[in-house]
């Protein structure tokens, strides 16, 4: 039985109307977003681990993008408040090279496991401005984490204030 024969008559006409009806949705243009911040990389790259509880970590405080030596961009205008190499978890649990930006709306973004960074504390950054290059710095249980960008959005400077980046960035 074909789809047409299943929906012929009144049902088919209603279905055809629904499919052909012009639905009024906002058109997204390049650089336009319904969320307050932009995507943190120079190209669309897949997510390898989402925010929240994952099979590897609970909670996972950000989103991991499978980025190998890609340009990492500021998600919004702001000021760099911290940069460096994270050794907080000791020799075997490091974040590696990182940058944290305080944005004009008070939110913070963190870019972690960078190969290198191109900003310093106090630098002003613009939306889309270069922060650094994604990399493979840092370790978990003394193991390399592989090339990726760990990206967080926070209500404050501390990592304990993390929120789901999906609420703030089109992913």
Q: Is 148 a catalytic residue?
A: yes
CA distance 162 to 78: 18
Residue 4, both tokens: 């047409």
CA distance 18 to 135: 47
**Which one is catalytic: 51, 108, 148, 162?**
148
Task: With beta carbons less than 8 A apart as the criterion, state whether 110 and 96 touch.
Answer: no
In this structure, the strands spanning 96-103 and 143-144 are unpaired
Report which secondary-structure segment, H or E, holds 131.
Answer: strand 130-134
Active site residues: 148
């Amino acid at each position: 039985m074909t789809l047409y024969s299943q929906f012929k008559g009144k049902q088919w006409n209603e279905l055809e109307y629904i499919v052909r009806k012009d639905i009024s949705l906002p058109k997204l243009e390049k650089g336009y977003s319904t969320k307050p911040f932009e995507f943190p990389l120079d190209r669309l790259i897949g997510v390898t681990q989402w925010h929240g509880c994952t099979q590897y970590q609970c909670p996972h405080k950000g989103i991991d993008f499978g980025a190998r030596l890609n340009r990492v961009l500021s998600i919004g205008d702001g000021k760099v408040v911290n940069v460096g190499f994270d050794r907080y978890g000791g020799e075997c649990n490091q974040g590696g090279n990182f940058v944290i930006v305080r944005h004009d709306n008070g939110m913070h973004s963190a870019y972690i496991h960078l190969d290198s960074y191109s900003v310093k504390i106090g630098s002003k950054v613009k939306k889309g401005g270069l922060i650094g290059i994604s990399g493979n710095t840092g370790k978990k249980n003394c193991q390399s984490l592989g090339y990726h960008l760990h990206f967080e959005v926070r209500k404050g400077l501390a990592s304990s204030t993390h929120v789901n980046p999906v609420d703030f960035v089109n992913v």
